[in-house]
Amino acid sequence: MVKTAQMAVVGTALVLGGLLTACTGDPGTAGPTSTSVTTSAAPTTTTAATTTTTSRNLALPPGVGPFNSAVCVANLYASGVVNGLIPYLNQVKKGRPISDAGWQDIQTTLPDAIASSTPQRGLLQQYGVPATFPAYQDSDDLLAAMNAVLDAGKAKDTAKLAQAFDQLQTASALFGEDCGALTRG
């Protein structure tokens, strides 16, 4: 069946190529020897809030790390939450309400991400990340931002959701930078 479908596609391309050649050539002159078709995907119009953070050029103190990526479990969950919220924020920006199912999704998804990210401080300690490293404060800020998003979801408040999302994006970017410094060798 796959071979039949492939043959049909090739046959269709040959027929269309022949028609294109016949339609573009002048009578008595050969048509083009090759044709190319350029297709492009329709442009997407999703827009996410942009967060600008200045790199802090973090480096671990001498003799510490680098660590494996397991030290940054909250980074994975934060990225997932940010990416999962973008469609809802795009709706809000367009003046559209978030559906009840959307609010329910936020309310049921965030507690798992928060619970999975909560051990982050303990992981930093377990791996021996110095207490002065910014990842401790940034992971606390990340959890606070996730909780703010959850609170906005429970309240079904789009203004609070947008504000909490901005906090979450910033906290996620900062913690992501921490993780980059922690895990690069």
Q: Taking the complete model, does pTM exceed 0.75, yes or no? A: no
Q: Which of 170, 150, 169, 171 is nearest to 161 (CA)?
A: 150
d(CA 171, CA 141): 6
Q: pLDDT digit string (tens) for 79-105?
A: 999 999 999 999 999 999 999 999 999
Q: pLDDT digit string (tens) for 46-76?
A: 344 444 556 788 887 777 788 888 899 999 9
